[in-house]
C-alpha cells in the first residue's frame, strides 16, 4: 500500500526545516546583480557567478549596521543563513555581513599569520630591545625614491650634526619587496660598525600595497636582527606584522625618526635640566642623610629604654618566682610532717589482721543469709508451681479468668524474685552476689519457660489452630452437649469474631 501523498504546505515545511537547520552559517562569494532598495529599507539582490545565481536579502536593521554596502556589478563575500519563503516555495540567503572579496581574503590571511607568528614568540614583549637614548649612528631601510625617505631626511636635519646616517635601499612594494627588505636589514646588522638603531619606514597605501611588510621573511629578519628596529610604516591607522615584531612602532615615518633620536632643541633643554637635577639630588641626599642620622639616634634611645625596661621586668619576675618557691616549699614541708605523724599512728600488719577477721566474719554471715534466702525461694517456687498446675487445669474451663489470674500471679512472682535479688545484692559481698545472681537467673529462665507454655495453652492460641469456643446466650462456656436443647441460642467464638446460631438437634456420644 503506497504512502499518503504530501500536501504542498507539508512538503514546503519539510524543505524549510532541512534548509534552515542545515545551512545556518554560510559564507558565499559572488557578484551583485539586480540590486533594489525599496522604501522599506531592505535590500534585495541576486548573488551570481558564471554558472548559478541565488536570491539574497539584507534586512533594514542589518543594513543600518553595515560598513561595506553591496554595489551593482561588484564582487563581495556575504555571510548569513538560508531562509525559505513558504508562499512562493523559494529560498534566499539572509545576509548579516558583507566584505569586499579581496580585502576579506587578505584580512583573513593577516589574522592567520598573526596567530602563527605569535605562537612562535616573535611578538613577545620580553624579547624587545630598548634603543639608546642618544644614538650616534642610525640605519634607514626604505626605497631611495619613496616619499617617506624625504620626510625622514627632513626630520633628521633637525637632529645633531654629528649623527651618522646609513641608507640601505630596498623595494617597499611588489612581489620582490619582502626579500629586498630582509636583505637590507641583514646588510646593516653585518656592518663592521653597525648602526645603534634601524628605521624601517614607508609611506601610506592600501592593504595590498603594504602586504610585503606582512611577509614571513621580513618579520623573521626583524626578530633576528641584533639591532633595535623602529618601524614607521604607512599612516597611524595602518598596522602590519612588521610593526608587531619591531622593538618600537611609530605611527608615521617622521614619528619613527623622533622616537629614534631627540632633536637639537630637546638636547639643549636637557643640559641645564640635568645640572639642576644634580643639585636637587645633592640636596635630597643631604636631607636624607640627616633624617637617617636622626632615625639612628632615635632607634638607639628606644633600644636602651626597651633594654632597661626588660631588665627591670626580669628582676621583678625573679623576685616573685623566688618568693613563690619559698612559700610552696614551706607548705609542702608542713604537709609532709602531718602525713608522717598520721602514718606513725598506723601499724600496717595490725590493721591487716583486723581487716582479715572482719572479712571472715562478714563472709560467714553472708553465707548464712544466702542459705536462708535459697530455702525460702525453693519453698515459694514449689508453691507457685503447684498453683500454676491447678490454674492451668482450670484454663480449659474458664480460660479468660484463669489467664488473667495466672498473669497477675506471674507478675507477683517476677516482682518477688527481683526484690529478693536486690535484697541479696545489697547485703552480700561480690562473690556471694555472683552465686545468688546465677540462682535467680535460673529461676527467671524457668519462669519464662512456664510463661511460654501458658501462652501456648491460652484460648487465643487454641482458636488460631482452628478450634472454637461455644457459649450460651448468658455467656457461660458450653463444655458438654447434654447442657443443650433444640432451639437454644448459642454463640460460637472464632479467632477473628463471634457467630450467633441456634441448636437444631443434640446427639450425645457414649463415653
What is the CA 350 to chain-centroid distance, rounded? 77
- The rounded distance, in Å, linking the Cα atoms of 394 and 455 is 14
**Furthest-apart CA pair in the chain: how many Å?**
159
| Three-state secondary-structure class, residue 457 | coil
What are the counts of helices (DSSP H) followed by strands (DSSP E) for the chain?
A: 13, 13
* Count of CA atoms in the C-beta half-sphere (13 A) of 69: 13
What sign has the CA pseudo-torsion 150, 155, 157, 160? negative
- Evaluate whether 101 touches 224 at the Cβ level (below 8 Å): no
- H-state helical runs in 163-263: 177-189, 216-224, 241-245, 253-260
pLDDT (0 to 100) of residue 10: 83
Determine the Cα–Cα distance for residues 232 and 234; give it in Å rounded to an integer. 7
| Rounded Cα distance, 452 and 147, in Å | 123
| 3-class DSSP assignment, residue 486 | coil
pLDDT at 2: 59
Distance (Å, whole) CA 424 – CA 418: 10
Answer yes or no: are the C-beta atoms of 54 and 69 closer than 8 Å. Answer: no
Q: Over the stretch 287-345, which tens digit does the pLDDT of each residue have?
A: 899 999 889 888 888 887 887 778 778 878 888 888 888 888 888 888 888 887 776 66
* Contact present, 95 and 62 (Cβ < 8 Å): yes
Which CATH code of 2.40.50.140, 3.30.70.370, 1.10.150.20, 3.40.30.10 fits the domain covering 8-105? 2.40.50.140
**Residue in the block written with cell 634607514:** 140
Are 284 and 266 in contact by the 8 Å Cβ rule? The answer is: no
Distance CA 48, CA 29 (A): 9
pLDDT for the residue 425 = 45
Which residue ranges make up each domain of the chain?
8-105, 120-127+135-261, 360-462, 468-502
Cα 460 to Cα 454: distance, rounded to the nearest angstrom: 11
User: What is the rounded distance in angstroms from the CA atom of residue 128 to the CA atom of residue 115?
Assistant: 18
Residue whose C-alpha is closest to residue 247's, from 123, 385, 91: 123
434: cell is: 555472683
DSSP assignment of 5-41 = PPPHHHHHHHHHHHHHHH-SSEEEEEEEEEEE--TTS
R_g of the chain, CA atoms, integer Å: 60
Class of domain 120-127+135-261: alpha beta
Closest by Cα among 206, 238, 242, 250 to 222: 242
Residue burial 452-481, b: 16+ Cβ < 10 Å; e: rest: eebeebbbeebbeeeeebbeeeeeebbeee
> Bridge partners of 470?
492
Q: What phi and psi, each to the nearest 5 degrees, are found at residue 415? A: -65, -40
Strands 75-85 and 90-100: antiparallel
Q: CB-based contacts of 381: which residues, under 8 Å, 6+ apart?
A: 443, 446
Q: Give just the sign of the alpha carbon dihedral 265, 268, 274, 277.
A: negative
Coil, helix or strand at residue 493: strand
Q: Give pLDDT, residue 380.
A: 79
pLDDT, position 367: 83
The pairing of strands 90-100 and 137-142 is unpaired
At 89, list the grid cell: 516555495
Residue 203 vs residues 106, 232, 250: alpha-carbon distances, Å? 20, 8, 12
Exposure b/e, 9-19, CB count within 10 A at least 16 = b: eeebeeebeee
- In a 13 Å sphere around the CA of 180, the CA atoms on its Cβ side amount to 15
Whole-number Å distance between alpha carbons of 483 and 323: 108
Q: Are strands 43-48 and 53-58 parallel, antiparallel or unpaired?
A: antiparallel
Strands 137-142 and 164-169: parallel
At residue 190, φ and ψ (nearest 5 deg) are -100, 15
Q: What is the pLDDT of residue 137?
A: 92
Q: Measuring CA to CA, which residue among 142, 150, 148, 151 is closest to residue 185?
A: 142
* Predicted pLDDT of residue 98: 86
pLDDT under 70 in the chain at which residues? 1-2, 102-105, 270-275, 343-347, 350, 385, 387-437, 439-440, 455-458, 510-511
d(CA 174, CA 147): 17
- Give dist(CA 79, CA 58) in Å, integer: 11
pTM over 0.75: no
pLDDT confidence of residue 119: 92
- Interval 338-384: pLDDT, tens: 887 776 666 677 677 778 888 888 888 888 888 888 788 778 777 77
Amino acid at each position: 500500500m503506497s504512502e499518503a501523498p504530501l500536501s504542498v504546505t507539508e512538503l514546503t515545511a519539510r524543505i524549510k526545516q532541512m534548509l534552515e537547520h542545515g545551512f545556518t552559517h554560510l559564507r558565499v562569494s559572488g557578484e551583485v546583480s539586480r540590486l533594489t532598495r525599496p522604501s522599506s529599507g531592505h535590500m534585495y539582490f541576486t548573488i551570481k557567478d558564471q554558472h548559478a545565481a541565488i536570491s539574497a536579502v539584507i534586512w533594514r536593521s542589518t543594513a543600518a549596521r553595515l560598513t561595506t554596502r553591496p554595489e551593482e556589478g561588484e564582487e563581495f563575500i556575504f555571510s548569513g543563513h538560508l531562509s525559505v519563503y513558504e508562499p512562493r516555495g523559494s529560498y534566499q540567503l539572509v545576509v548579516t555581513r558583507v566584505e569586499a572579496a579581496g580585502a576579506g581574503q587578505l584580512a583573513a590571511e593577516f589574522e592567520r599569520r598573526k596567530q602563527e607568528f605569535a605562537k612562535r614568540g616573535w611578538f613577545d614583549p620580553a624579547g624587545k630591545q630598548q634603543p639608546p637614548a642618544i644614538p650616534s649612528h642610525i640605519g634607514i631601510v626604505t626605497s631611495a625614491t619613496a616619499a617617506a625617505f624625504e620626510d625622514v631626511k627632513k626630520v633628521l636635519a633637525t637632529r645633531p650634526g654629528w649623527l651618522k646616517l646609513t641608507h640601505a635601499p630596498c623595494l617597499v612594494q611588489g612581489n620582490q619587496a619582502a626579500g629586498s627588505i630582509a636583505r637590507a636589514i641583514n646588510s646593516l646588522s653585518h656592518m663592521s660598525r653597525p648602526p645603534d638603531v634601524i628605521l624601517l619606514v614607508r609611506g601610506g597605501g592600501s592593504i595590498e600595497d603594504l602586504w610585503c611588510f606582512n611577509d614571513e621573511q621580513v618579520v623573521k629578519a626583524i626578530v633576528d636582527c641584533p639591532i633595535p628596529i623602529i618601524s614607521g610604516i604607512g599612516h597611524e591607522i595602518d598596522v602590519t606584522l612588521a610593526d608587531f615584531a619591531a622593538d618600537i612602532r611609530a605611527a608615521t615615518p617622521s614619528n619613527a625618526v623622533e622616537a629614534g633620536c631627540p632633536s637639537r632643541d630637546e638636547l639643549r633643554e636637557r643640559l641645564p635640566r640635568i645640572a639642576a637635577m644634580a643639585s636637587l639630588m645633592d640636596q635630597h641626599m643631604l636631607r636624607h642623610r640627616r633624617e637617617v642620622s636622626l632615625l639612628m639616634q632615635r632607634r638607639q634611645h628606644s633600644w636602651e629604654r626597651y633594654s632597661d625596661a626588660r631588665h627591670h621586668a626580669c628582676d621583678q619576675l625573679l623576685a616573685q618566682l623566688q618568693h613563690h618557691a619559698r612559700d610552696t616549699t614551706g607548705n609542702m614541708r608542713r604537709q609532709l610532717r602531718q602525713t608522717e605523724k598520721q602514718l606513725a599512728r598506723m601499724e600496717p600488719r595490725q590493721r591487716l589482721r583486723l581487716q582479715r577477721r572482719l572479712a571472715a566474719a562478714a563472709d560467714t554471715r553472708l553465707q548464712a543469709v544466702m542459705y536462708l534466702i535459697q530455702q525460702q525461694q525453693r519453698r515459694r517456687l514449689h508453691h507457685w508451681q503447684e498453683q500454676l498446675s491447678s490454674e492451668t487445669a482450670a484454663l480449659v474451663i474458664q480460660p479468660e479468668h484463669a489467664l488473667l489470674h495466672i498473669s497477675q500471679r506471674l507478675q507477683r512472682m517476677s516482682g518477688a524474685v527481683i526484690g529478693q535479688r536486690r535484697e541479696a545484692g545489697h547485703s552480700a559481698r561480690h562473690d556471694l552476689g555472683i552465686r545468688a545472681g546465677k540462682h535467680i537467673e535460673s529461676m527467671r529462665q524457668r519462669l519464662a519457660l512456664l510463661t511460654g507454655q501458658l501462652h501456648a495453652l491460652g484460648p487465643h492460641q487454641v482458636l488460631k489452630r482452628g478450634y472454637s469456643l461455644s457459649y450460651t446466650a448468658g455467656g457461660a462456656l458450653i463444655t458438654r452437649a447434654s447442657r443443650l436443647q433444640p432451639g437454644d441460642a448459642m454463640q460460637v467464638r472464632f479467632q477473628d469474631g463471634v457467630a450467633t446460631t441456634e441448636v437444631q438437634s443434640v446427639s450425645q456420644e457414649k463415653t
